[in-house]
Structure 1
Amino acid sequence: MSVSAPDARWSRQAMAIVALCFALNMADGMDLLVLSFIAPTLQTQWSVSATQMAMVFSSGLAGMAAGGLALAPLADRIGRRRMVALAMGLMAAAMALSSMTRSVGELAAVRFFVGVGIGTVLACIASIAARVAPMRHRNFAVGVLQAGYPIGAMLTGFATAWALPLFGWQAILMATAGVSGALVLAVVMLLPADLDADIRAHAAPLREVIAGPRRANTIRLWVAAICGFMALYFITSWITKLAIEAGLPQTQAIIASAIYNFGAFAGTLGMSILGNRTDVRRLASVLLIATSGVFLFFGGVAMPLWGVLATAFVMGVTLQGGFNMLYPLAAQVYPDAVRATGIGWVFGIGRIGAFTGPLLGGWALGMHWPLVAVFGLFCAPLLIAAMAAALVRPQA
């Protein structure tokens, strides 16, 4: 059965494809954010500073930029099914190699290739979901995929809090590699061969993404993604360390980061449902503005454990719930023939913020800034991202 002409109702095949894409995004969340859970242990074992560890975070995020900019656009030519399988295979191999590293330099080099796979998959599955979903459910389909990311991270956080003292960080990285490897087989077996039946014949170059009336929207999306990613990956990379700075022991800090990711899941799911009835630009803007207030509260108010956990949950709801609405917004801007290219470039260019955010946060932490000042540093990017998202004018 062809999936190239979505109608007003969900088909079983379309639901299965979106569910598989959700699982792929869970694996992305596992593979990327597991590093933030084991970072304090690596800092202790390898005697490295927060600034040095930030280089490892940023290496993976630079790889995500390379994947989004260079590999994801090729999916509009060679096929999204094939590209997703290749990217997941690269992630699995690189994760396995990362468990064997012995220094920050080695880990940073391998994490770059983990990032290449993640950046490629993120762009491809968003375009796949937009293609197979009924038109009136497109915002939900593209948005809900992003909820898989924090679920994968949350489950990994709980598993790491239990397994790290028992088995060590190497076993945790190898386990995540196994999950990605299993999903390669799922992609080959479950994604239909006709998914790209009439895409490759009409594949368009990058200039069609930035030409004519789409140019202004593309620039606005790039600005929103850069600034949003700066705040998002500051948090996702350093949430465990930030919770420790807020007064929690390491095990409870890992739990706090898992709670943050549960909030991210709840926010993304809720906003995806609302996205079918409400302008996603408004959802993104309001939540990103609210996040700046949550940042200042988390950094400036002394709280007991339950307060830290509750605020981490709310932060997940507002930050990732708002940012992840940029994915369905981008899917509205670009037509199907260039959607993987358009989305890949939006969130590839956005990685400029993704790999500078952790570096900036690591520098501020290394300078022993007050926690409220560290968080305050990222309020301006949040407000700029909110304004840029509000100015986008969907056309596709």
Structure 2
Amino acid sequence: MDAIAAEPALGRTGRVTARVVGLCLLVIVLDGFDMLVIALTAPAIAADWGLPAHRLGPLFAAGILGMIGGSVLIAPLGDRLGRVRVLMLSCGLFGVFAGLTVLASGYWSLLGLRLLTGLGLGGAVPNATALISEHASPRRRPLLVSVGLVGFSLGGMLCAGLAVPLLPRFGWRSLYLVGGVLPLLLIPVLRRYLPDSPVAARDLRAAEGSGVRRLLGAELGPDTRRLWLGFFINMMVMFFLANWVPYLAGQAGFSPRQGSLAALALNLGGVAGPLLLAMGCQYLDARRVIGTAFVLAAASLVAVGYATGSFGVYLAAAALAGFFVFGAQITLHALAAAAYPTPLRATGIGWALGCGRVGSVFGPLLGGELLRSGVPLQYYFSGFGLVVLLAAAATFTLSARVASAD
């Protein structure tokens, strides 16, 4: 019998599910911490080593490139070795290499350590997402997956909060020490208290036909390609917004302080959006909820581009863009979890996220090229809005199985 049809219901509730969500949330918080720490320490590193601003770009990109590698190379191991083992491996990798960053002696050693840290970061989120989805009932899956993935933003907030007292007193290396020690301390906790997939011991190692070839086969291929397109486009737009909204506020005639407020509004919308959209997915077809969010994201992007006359309108449009763009991205993880049978789930999520992270590299670069070309501000956002409609079409046309899996 086909693995999809034969797959048992995996929904579980109560204390075990709460423990799984809580521990996976901690993993993703530390993942977010060690991903975003470079952004907070880059000015101090540049000052310490006398680096020009343009040499910081590769340091930012190295972590993302490492995460792409981790998503497609390490994350799929969860389908063969079990989710918890690979989560522990991922925590060990990004913990060790983040900790070793304390010893970085120059630009190239730091670049290499960021790349290696990214490998561990890329393996963690797909397996944490798969594990949460396998301990959640189908109805609660979008909400619980979104709760877990909000940990990435919480990790960034934790890093920013610790940077305030630590950077002036102990220097930039102190944040990497924290980012290295905490994941290593979490490993024995995961080993002791985190249950694996309810079918991991029985089915994961015995699965036949697992791997990328099956993702693209006749049965799963159409949904896989649509998910990859959705992840690529939306993460491209997410990182475009995160990197350029404050600067483009200045291009629209607003002050630097107003640009910072616009970035805050964008991120506040990005925290609220995933949770509220995920609640909607509990009662409505998730494909329709997320597809509609993409359509509204496109409208919000156009509104940001044309809101040059009123800062209040610009602020509201930025918040809505964060709500729908960030919200659609995180809830899209739940659709990816539902799209694949258990023996293939970490591989499916990992490759979809890897495609998304390729998009996350293109977004900031494309924004910079558009800025250099002198394209009017309205065209920036309208162009990205039109592209987001492709993600909406891809989501609306996912198979019914994705919405009703498990």
TM-score normalised by L of structure 2: 0.83
Among candidates 31, 35, 39, match of residue 32 of structure 1: 35
Q: Distance in 2 between matches of 1:368 and 1:17?
A: 49
Q: Distance in 2 between matches of 1:300 and 1:108?
A: 39
Among candidates 324, 335, 345, match of residue 339 of structure 1: 345
Aligned counterpart, 2:3: none
Q: Output aligned runs, 1:142-161, within 5 Å.
A: 142-160=145-163
Q: Distance in 1 between matches of 2:308 and 2:32?
A: 30
Q: Distance in 2 between matches of 1:350 and 1:328?
A: 15
Task: State the AA in 1 paired with 2:192.
Answer: M
Which has more radius of gyration?
2
Deviates more, 1:72-81 or 1:354-363: 354-363
Aligned counterpart, 2:52: 48
Q: Output aligned runs, 1:56-95, within 5 Å.
A: 56-95=59-98
Q: Distance in 2 between matches of 1:149 and 1:161?
A: 19
Identity of aligned residues (%): 29
Aligned counterpart, 2:207: 202
Is it true that 1:125 corresponds to 2:128 in the alignment? yes
CA 1:7–1:225 in 2, change beyond 3 Å: closer, same or farther? closer
CA 1:36–1:303 in 2, change beyond 3 Å: closer, same or farther? farther
CA 1:175–1:7 in 2, change beyond 3 Å: closer, same or farther? closer
Conserved? CA contact 2:12–2:135, under 8 Å: no
Is it true that 1:319 corresponds to 2:322 in the alignment? no
1:246-284 C-alpha deviation (Å, 9 max, x unpaired): 53259x83x764554333221111112211112222222
Q: Distance in 2 between matches of 1:227 and 1:28?
A: 22
Deviates more, 1:372-381 or 1:219-228: 372-381
1:164-203 C-alpha deviation (Å, 9 max, x unpaired): 4555433333333333333223322221267521222225
Q: Distance in 2 between matches of 1:368 and 1:178?
A: 46
Conserved? CA contact 1:87–1:120, under 8 Å: yes
Q: Distance in 1 between matches of 2:164 and 2:250?
A: 14
Q: Distance in 1 between matches of 2:163 and 2:246?
A: 12
Q: How far did residue 74 of structure 1 move?
A: 1.2
| Partner secondary structure for residue 157 of structure 2 | helix
Q: Which has the higher contact order (CA 8 A, sep 6+)?
A: 1
1:195-223 C-alpha deviation (Å, 9 max, x unpaired): 52122222542222222221111111111
Conserved? CA contact 2:269–2:321, under 8 Å: yes
Q: Output aligned runs, 1:137-216, within 5 Å.
A: 137-160=140-163, 164=167, 167-192=170-195, 196-198=200-202, 199-202=204-207, 204-206=209-211, 207-216=213-222
Q: How far did residue 18 of structure 1 move?
A: 1.3
| Partner secondary structure for residue 364 of structure 2 | helix
Aligned counterpart, 1:353: 359
CA 1:78–1:299 in 2, change beyond 3 Å: closer, same or farther? same
Q: Distance in 1 between matches of 2:265 and 2:169?
A: 22
| Partner secondary structure for residue 56 of structure 1 | helix
CA 1:112–1:383 in 2, change beyond 3 Å: closer, same or farther? farther
Q: Output aligned runs, 1:276-315, within 5 Å.
A: 276-302=282-308, 311-315=317-321
Task: State the AA in 2 paired with 1:36.
Answer: A
Deviates more, 1:36-45 or 1:144-153: 36-45
Q: Distance in 2 between matches of 1:68 and 1:24?
A: 15
CA 1:164–1:335 in 2, change beyond 3 Å: closer, same or farther? same
| Partner secondary structure for residue 179 of structure 1 | helix
Q: Distance in 1 between matches of 2:156 and 2:66?
A: 19
Q: Output aligned runs, 1:237-252, within 5 Å.
A: 237=243, 247-248=255-256
CA 1:194–1:288 in 2, change beyond 3 Å: closer, same or farther? closer
Q: CA RMSD in A?
A: 3.3
| Partner secondary structure for residue 350 of structure 1 | helix
Q: Distance in 1 between matches of 2:62 and 2:145?
A: 27
Conserved? CA contact 2:293–2:325, under 8 Å: yes
Among candidates 261, 265, 281, match of residue 267 of structure 2: 261
Q: Distance in 2 between matches of 1:114 and 1:249?
A: 33
Q: Distance in 2 between matches of 1:296 and 1:105?
A: 40
Task: State the AA in 2 paired with 1:82.
Answer: R
Deviates more, 1:142-151 or 1:211-220: 142-151
1:37-63 C-alpha deviation (Å, 9 max, x unpaired): 44455566644345x433333222221
Q: Distance in 2 between matches of 1:242 and 1:170?
A: 32
Task: Provide the aligned length of Structure 1 versus Structure 2.
Answer: 390
Deviates more, 1:34-43 or 1:122-131: 34-43
Q: How far did residue 86 of structure 1 move?
A: 0.7
Conserved? CA contact 2:270–2:323, under 8 Å: yes
| Partner secondary structure for residue 140 of structure 2 | helix
Q: How far did residue 240 of structure 1 move?
A: 6.1
Conserved? CA contact 1:153–1:258, under 8 Å: no
Is it true that 1:17 corresponds to 2:20 in the alignment? yes
Q: Distance in 1 between matches of 2:368 and 2:180?
A: 27
Q: How far did residue 331 of structure 1 move?
A: 1.7
Conserved? CA contact 2:145–2:334, under 8 Å: yes
5+ residue gaps, structure 1: none
